[in-house]
Amino acid sequence: MTSKPKILIVYTGGTIGMVKDYKTKALKAFDFDQILHKIPELQQLNCIIDTISFKNPIDSSDMNIAYYIQIAEIIADKYNDFDGFVVLTGSDTMSYVSSAISFMFENLQKPVIFTGSQLPIGDLRTDAKENLITSIEIASAQNNGEPIIQEVGLYFEYKLYRANRTTKISAEHFQAFSSMNYPPLAESGVHLNFNHAILTANTKKENKLIFRKRLCSNIVILKLFPGITEAVIANYLNIKGLKGIVLETYGAGNAPTSEWFLKIIEKFIANGVYIVNVTQCSGGSVMPGHYETSTRLKDIGIVNGKDITTESAVAKMMYLLGENLAKEEFKTYFEMPLRGEISA
């Protein structure tokens, strides 16, 4: 650790990195190499800031596994040179990418804070400056020379969340994200207050960072709705190379009890496809067997997603499928918290 923490800003793209040309009214990419000049308030922070940007910034809608790996590789390559990282991405897919990054790093002992904005950094009423300044402050916060945050977080509109617990809930309001099943790790007001009781801390400091970048994207999300037909679900059986399904069920994990539905689910499992049961609700948990409509799914062998978000379930499935685990190992690891993504 240096006397002043060194923070690396990684800009991948997204609204936060755009400024308006007031002559043409067009948006153009912000030059983060000039960040201290453009945002002089950053010089008041007790840290040293460096930046790195994607050569071709990407829109959040274009996020994919290749970009996940690119972000993670930057962090892994610079891990020993910096005390914390702030990653700027588009907010639309931020919960997906930040959840994935949380699984790609094991024994993380430094903060990786994702943030972005609803308005470009050059707009008069932008939320970008506050989100960026506070994210850097959080990434550089230390206690007795150790980072206070030692996990992947997502900061937006005065709240720091565990990244793999988040969902984007609004395209209109500055408070764009929520974490229904886990409280904020920190809140920014007059003071920056950390919820120390729920923070992840790596007690085995001798354990080195492990970077895992084998991710499998041969998965789908299947959201149930009243009236969904046999033909629609059966067509998923024809997807070549399908490895996993995140099944969004009703309430506490309930699904149709029709024999045709259950037989299709059994065919998926017989074909070696992993199915994880997650709730469509914003908050709450899957509780297999709590109602009769979920008992059959439990008996068939569907994996219990508990209170995991859909975004985190997708990321965790990509990660575990990439590890080529045996069937029972996959179920065991998915149903246990690996990065604080589900409740034990």
- CATH class name, domain 6-211: alpha beta
Number of H helices and number of E strands within the chain? 9, 20
**Structure confidence at residue 203 as a pLDDT band (50, 70, 90):** low
For residue 85, pLDDT over 90 is answered with yes
The total of other beta-carbon atoms located within 10 Å of residue 67's CB is: 19
- Find the mean pLDDT for residues 53-58: 90
154 or 57, which is more confident: 154
Q: Is the separation of the CB atoms in 35 and 88 below 8 Å? A: no
Q: Is the separation of the CB atoms in 89 and 9 below 8 Å? A: no
From 12, 15, 115, 279, active-site residue = 15
**Is the pTM higher than 0.95?**
no
Tell me the residue type at 181: N
pLDDT of residue 300: 87
Comma-separated ranges of CATH 3.40.50.40 domains in the chain? 219-334
Share of the chain above pLDDT 90, in %: 74
Q: What's the whole-number average pLDDT of the chain?
A: 92
Q: Which of 262, 246, 224, 261 is nearest to 308 (CA)?
A: 246
Share of the chain above pLDDT 70, in %: 97
Write out pLDDT tens, residues 98-153: 999 999 999 999 999 999 998 888 787 889 899 999 999 999 999 988 999 999 99
- Find the mean pLDDT for residues 63-91: 97
pLDDT of residue 293: 65
The total of other beta-carbon atoms located within 10 Å of residue 198's CB is: 12
For residue 2, pLDDT over 70 is answered with no
Residue 72 CA to residue 213 CA, distance in Å, equals 8
pLDDT of residue 19: 79
- Find the mean pLDDT for residues 244-263: 94
Lowest mean pLDDT among 141-150, 200-209, 222-231: 200-209
Residue environment code for 32-62, b if the CB has 16+ CB neighbours within 10 A, otherwise e: beebeeebeebeebebebebebbeebbebee
pLDDT of residue 344: 80
> How far are the Cα atoms of 175, 198, 276 from residue 131, in angstroms, in the given order?
11, 22, 34
Q: Is the separation of the CB atoms in 80 and 100 below 8 Å? A: no
Cα-Cα-Cα-Cα torsion 207, 344, 99, 211, nearest 10 degrees, comes to: 20
> Which run of H or of E encompasses 321?
helix 310-322
pLDDT of residue 1: 46
Write out pLDDT tens, residues 270-321: 999 999 999 999 999 998 876 666 678 888 889 999 999 999 999 999 999 9
Note if 15 is an active site residue: yes
Backbone angles phi, psi at 270, to 5 degrees: -65, -30
Residue 20 CA to residue 26 CA, distance in Å, equals 6
Backbone angles phi, psi at 50, to 5 degrees: -130, 160
Q: Provide Rg for the chain, Cα atoms.
A: 21
**Structure confidence at residue 200 as a pLDDT band (50, 70, 90):** confident
- Find the mean pLDDT for residues 179-183: 96
- Tell me whether residue 98 is exposed, middle or buried, using C-beta atoms within 10 angstroms of its C-beta: 0 to 12, 13 to 18, 19 or more: buried
User: Is 219-334 CATH 3.40.50.40?
Assistant: yes
Structure tokens at 158: 């005065």
> How far are the Cα atoms of 29, 177, 212, 320, 332 from residue 287, in angstroms, in the given order?
46, 25, 31, 22, 16
pLDDT of residue 292: 67
pLDDT of residue 318: 98
Comma-separated ranges of CATH 3.40.50.1170 domains in the chain? 6-211
For residue 247, pLDDT over 50 is answered with yes
